[in-house]
């Protein structure tokens, strides 16, 4: 994979001087073009061997283009806010919005590769992380991102020479740390692991470009031209909808199958609710929760009782440690980012709980049914969501998902009640009546959602909610049980 980057590429000075101004002008124009369209973020990954000119190239990009619209991020040690969350969180938080260029110096490849080289990580785990990266990048591209992956390479001999050169001059010695020499000792393993990583993550959508780092002019022109080509590339084709959804031959489904007759008397309710709240309250304060977090999702048709159930859950917790996120229309900052960004920003640190009142499942429910996104968008969302929740789980979150299920007749009854109760009238709008007419389409979407996203780590809990008291107790008891099993 690196053969072509060890042939001694070089560009003579005259040739460079002829090409550089044109390239520069073209890059600047392409940048303003992106900026004015504001349709796609441009994400440039800068990785490779130490001393191969990564820093110089990044500085050159900033010099050639307008640095006011470029965000460059270098990733060092994790901060303690980052350490508490899934490893991709630190990248999500710096993704450039549409129209902007984000240069990531070091990237989601750095840690998997170094951990493998230093022997901190088994091969199977390494492969799993590469698979996660592949899917993450596929998502970025499907969301419209221009993704350019640059790898700067030096042969063993060339790296040794380069490190020595840098160390010798007073002006550049600061750039070489003892760590660089330490890593150089592992050059062969490093290159071998990198080759594997590049091979496994190079595909038609997001290929790696390996650039020989010896000659500064060759490096600069090559990197600049690759960036120009990437920015001028047409918007990626939407991949075809990967998930064919089909209804069974009978009219039975997971929602209709629920037992809606279950009811609870007020006294049994009081008793069981209080018991479950007390249990949950104690578990939340337990030692084990200090290394865990809780992510709870509530979905359900309008008037299914999400809000009132959430209030019973929060009552069992200390307000200092939970946060409820009501999901409404995205802000403009959220709209300029990939779909899941607005949820990533609320991911809790250890010891905390975040409750989503509606969630990322909007993509495969309301957005699907109302046609707010393309079929390709919602169809790919199933696996993106599974990946998201798997990452939450791996970072110590207990992910709990509830579908509060009511029947159409029960919904009608509640709508009418709301209309006739003065202080509840604000809770019912024309939109609710419109949504109600699409019940079959929503029901279908819910069943598909359950089939596609009920996983071992984050199963769906379908709660018959015609009886509110019954539903609340089910939810509370379920949360307490899961927290006890996983974090207690």
Nearer to a copy of itself, 226 or 324 (CB): 324
| Interface with a copy of itself, residue 465, by CB under 8 A | no
Q: Residue 428 in contact with residue 415, Cβ under 8 Å? A: yes
Strands 397-405 and 322-326: what pairing? unpaired
Nearer to a copy of itself, 69 or 457 (CB): 69
| Interface with a copy of itself, residue 89, by CB under 8 A | no
> Can you say how many angstroms the Cα of residue 452 is from the centroid of all Cα atoms in its chain?
18
Nearer to a copy of itself, 141 or 223 (CB): 223
| Interface with a copy of itself, residue 422, by CB under 8 A | no
| Interface with a copy of itself, residue 79, by CB under 8 A | yes
Least separation in angstroms between CB 63 and a copy of itself: 6
Other beta carbons within 10 Å of 36: 9
Strands 293-300 and 397-405: what pairing? parallel
Footprint (CB under 8 A) of a copy of itself, residues 318-347: 318-326, 331-333
Least separation in angstroms between CB 161 and a copy of itself: 23
Other beta carbons within 10 Å of 62: 15
Nearer to a copy of itself, 139 or 284 (CB): 284
Tokens coding 202: 């190079």
Least separation in angstroms between CB 230 and a copy of itself: 18
Phi, psi angles (nearest 5°) of residue 438? -95, 20
Least separation in angstroms between CB 367 and a copy of itself: 21
Q: Residue 44 in contact with residue 102, Cβ under 8 Å? A: yes
Spatial distance between the Cα atoms of 236 and 40, rounded to a whole number of angstroms: 10
Which of 20, 23, 62, 216: binder of a copy of itself (CB under 8 A)? 62
| Interface with a copy of itself, residue 58, by CB under 8 A | yes
Give strand ranges (E) for 49-192: 70-74, 101-105, 146-153
Which of 3, 13, 63, 250: binder of a copy of itself (CB under 8 A)? 63
Which DSSP symbol is given to 27? H
| Interface with a copy of itself, residue 425, by CB under 8 A | no
Footprint (CB under 8 A) of a copy of itself, residues 10-29: 25, 29
| Interface with a copy of itself, residue 32, by CB under 8 A | yes
| Interface with a copy of itself, residue 273, by CB under 8 A | no
Q: Residue 461 in contact with residue 257, Cβ under 8 Å? A: no
Q: How many residues bind a copy of itself (CB under 8 A)?
A: 47
| Interface with a copy of itself, residue 409, by CB under 8 A | no
- Residue 149 contacts by C-beta under 8 Å, 6 or more apart in sequence? 45, 47, 201, 202, 206, 207, 208, 209
97, 113, 251, 472 from 71: Cα distances, Å: 10, 24, 53, 46
Footprint (CB under 8 A) of a copy of itself, residues 202-231: none
Which residues are near a copy of itself by CB under 8 A?
25, 29, 32, 55, 58-59, 61-63, 66-74, 79-81, 103, 105, 171, 174, 282, 285, 307, 310-311, 314-315, 318-326, 331-333, 357, 423, 426
């Amino acid at each position: 994979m690196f053969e072509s980057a060890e042939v001694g590429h070089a560009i003579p000075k005259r040739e460079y001087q002829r090409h550089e101004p044109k390239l520069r002008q073209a890059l600047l124009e392409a940048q303003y073009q992106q900026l004015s369209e504001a349709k796609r973020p441009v994400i440039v990954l800068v990785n490779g061997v130490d001393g191969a000119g990564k820093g110089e190239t990044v500085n050159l990009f900033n010099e050639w283009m307008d640095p006011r619209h470029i965000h460059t991020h270098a990733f060092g040690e994790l901060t303690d806010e980052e350490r508490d969350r899934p490893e991709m969180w630190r990248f999500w938080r710096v993704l450039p919005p549409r129209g902007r260029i984000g240069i990531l110096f070091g990237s989601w490849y750095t840690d998997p590769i170094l951990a493998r080289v230093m022997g901190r990580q088994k091969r199977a785990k390494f492969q799993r992380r590469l698979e996660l990266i592949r899917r993450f990048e596929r998502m970025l591209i499907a969301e419209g991102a221009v993704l350019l992956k640059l790898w700067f390479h030096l042969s063993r001999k060339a790296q040794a020479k380069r490190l020595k050169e840098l160390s010798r001059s007073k002006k550049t010695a600061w750039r070489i740390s003892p760590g660089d020499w330490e890593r150089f000792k592992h050059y062969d393993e490093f290159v071998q692991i990198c080759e594997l990583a590049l091979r496994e993550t190079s595909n038609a959508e997001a290929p790696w470009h390996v650039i020989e780092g010896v000659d500064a002019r060759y490096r600069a022109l090559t990197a600049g031209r690759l960036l120009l080509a990437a920015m001028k590339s047409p918007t990626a084709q939407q991949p075809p909808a990967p998930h064919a959804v089909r209804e069974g031959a009978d009219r039975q489904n997971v929602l209709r199958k629920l037992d809606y007759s279950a009811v609870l008397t007020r006294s049994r309710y009081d008793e069981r609710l209080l018991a479950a709240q007390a249990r949950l309250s104690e578990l939340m304060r337990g030692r084990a929760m200090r290394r865990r977090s809780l992510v709870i999702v509530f979905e359900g048709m309008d008037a299914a009782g999400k809000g009132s159930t959430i209030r019973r859950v929060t009552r069992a917790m200390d307000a200092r440690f939970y946060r409820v996120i009501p999901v409404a229309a995205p802000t403009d900052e959220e709209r300029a980012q990939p779909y899941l960004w607005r949820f990533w920003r609320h991911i809790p640190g250890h010891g905390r709980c975040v409750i989503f009142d509606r969630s990322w499942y909007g993509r495969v429910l309301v957005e699907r049914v109302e046609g707010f996104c393309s079929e390709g968008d919602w169809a790919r969302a199933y696996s993106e969501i599974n990946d998201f929740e798997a990452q939450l789980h791996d970072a110590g979150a207990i992910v709990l998902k509830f579908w509060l299920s009511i029947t159409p007749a029960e919904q009608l009854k509640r709508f009418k009640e709301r209309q006739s109760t003065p202080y509840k009238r604000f809770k019912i709008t024309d939109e609710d009546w419109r949504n109600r007419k699409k019940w079959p389409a929503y029901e279908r979407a819910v069943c598909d959602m359950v089939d596609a996203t009920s996983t071992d780590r984050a199963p769906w809990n379908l709660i018959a909610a015609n009886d509110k008291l019954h539903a609340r107790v089910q939810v509370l008891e379920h949360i307490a049980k899961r927290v006890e099993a996983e974090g207690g």
